[in-house]
Amino acid sequence: MPTVRYVTVDVFTDKRFTGNPLAVIFDAQDLSDADMQNIAKEFNYSEVTFVLPPQDPANSARVRILTPTTEVPFAGHPNVGTAYVLGQQAELFGKPVGETLHFEEKAGLVEVTLKRENGKVVAAAIRAPRALEIGETVDTQTIAACASIEAGSIVTSNHAPIYASVGLAFVFAELDGLQALGNAGPNLTAFQQAVRKYPGEGLGLPLFLYVRDPSRPWHFRARMFAPLDNVPEDPATGSASAALAAYLVETDKDLAADGTTAITIEQGVEMGRHSVIELEVTKRAGKITDVLIGGSCALVMRGEVNC
């Protein structure tokens, strides 16, 4: 029966017990799929990562990402947190840990850049592994029912609620203010009905709600609900933030066809786990060519898991 080491880290924050918690499981090659799913369910975090030797020795590691109920192809905070944890080591699978890591994942190859201060890793930034994909729109009544809010608080002047992805699909909806955002909460029955109405676009119709800061148009507050994936609310969702940022930059007609836009998304405030996600979105000839997702991390716990 294998025993594996783990570290937990809070991601998109520099303070312990805020941000989004993540468990990183080392040397997971002897674990079965069932072992991994049981460990993820036991931690009950939004995601747990499992680090395995890379299939291509030119890369740093193979990383599998599991929620309490399933494996996902890509997610933001697990990559940032895993890179931060592995960056504390001198070596990874017999190779020195440099300034850039390459993770093999189901969504593709994920590149991660480490940020150091006084020689110590304090943050990480990743590149989204896939180009922006835009899916179908979702009616406002469905969004309102899922989020337990009035349909009139959903802003549609910029875009209708819509699926978008840079590796993992989410539904995005803009709200008209912080009061509506604060009043929101997941309605499990409505989500169950909605996923039957909109099948196939995403895992359990994960819903990302956001509000623009009137004085800073590229500074947002957000919340994410995915109750069908056993995540009633997520304190920081890097993959959703990246997809939203890419979608808004590509579709904003006031932005130049070429350039880079910096975006800040705060999340987890209503949960008491304030998170800050920093993004840079590059557009060339009107199309998104690069999305960087970055943030700080804080180590919390170390231990072992007996399978």
| Average pLDDT of the segment spanning 194-209 | 83
Burial readout 112-147 (b: 16 or more C-beta within 10 A, e: otherwise) = bbbbeeeeebebbbbbbbbebebbeebebebbbbbb
CA 222 to chain centre: 12
Whether residue 79 contacts residue 110, with contact meaning beta carbons closer than 8 Å, is answered with yes
SS3 280: strand
Closest by CA to 202, choosing from 234, 232, 239, 175, is 239
Query: What integer pLDDT is reported at residue 119 of this predicted model?
Result: 84
Place of tokens 């880290």: 9
86 contact partners, CB below 8 Å, separation of at least 6:
24, 51, 60, 61, 92, 97, 101
Query: What integer pLDDT is reported at residue 307 of this predicted model?
Result: 81
| Average pLDDT of the segment spanning 31-60 | 96
Closest by CA to 142, choosing from 162, 124, 123, 128, is 162
Cα 179 to Cα 171: distance, rounded to the nearest angstrom: 20
Query: What integer pLDDT is reported at residue 64 of this predicted model?
Result: 98
Cα 71 to Cα 161: distance, rounded to the nearest angstrom: 25
Q: Considering the chain, what is the average pLDDT of its residues?
A: 95
pLDDT band at 1 (very low <50, low <70, confident <90, very high): low
Q: How far is CA 42 from CA 59, 66, 226, in A?
A: 30, 12, 18
Amino acid at 65: I
Q: Is the pLDDT of residue 225 over 90?
A: yes
For 154-169, the pLDDT digits (tens) are: 999 999 999 999 988 9
Percentage of residues in the chain with pLDDT exceeding 70? 98
Q: Is the pLDDT of residue 293 over 80?
A: yes
Query: What integer pLDDT is reported at residue 229 of this predicted model?
Result: 86
For 86-104, the pLDDT digits (tens) are: 999 999 999 999 899 999 9
Whether residue 45 contacts residue 88, with contact meaning beta carbons closer than 8 Å, is answered with no
Least confident of 11-20, 68-77, 78-87, 154-163: 68-77
The alpha carbon dihedral of 240, 245, 250, 253 has a sign of: positive
Query: What integer pLDDT is reported at residue 147 of this predicted model?
Result: 98
pLDDT band at 241 (very low <50, low <70, confident <90, very high): very high
| Average pLDDT of the segment spanning 237-261 | 96
Q: What is the crossing angle of helices 76-86 and 238-251, to 10°?
A: 120
Tokens in use for 300?
A: 């919390």
Tokens in use for 45?
A: 């975090």
Catalytic residues: 47
Domains of the chain in sequence order = 3-127+296-306 (3.10.310.10), 133-293 (3.10.310.10)
pLDDT band at 51 (very low <50, low <70, confident <90, very high): very high
Place of tokens 């539904």: 171
Percentage of residues in the chain with pLDDT exceeding 90? 90
Phi, psi of 215 (to 5 degrees): -90, -15
Q: Is the pLDDT of residue 202 over 60?
A: no
For 103-155, the pLDDT digits (tens) are: 999 999 999 999 999 888 999 999 988 999 999 999 999 999 999 999 999 99
Start-end of H helices in 148-279: 178-183, 188-197, 238-251
pLDDT band at 259 (very low <50, low <70, confident <90, very high): very high
CA 14 to chain centre: 17
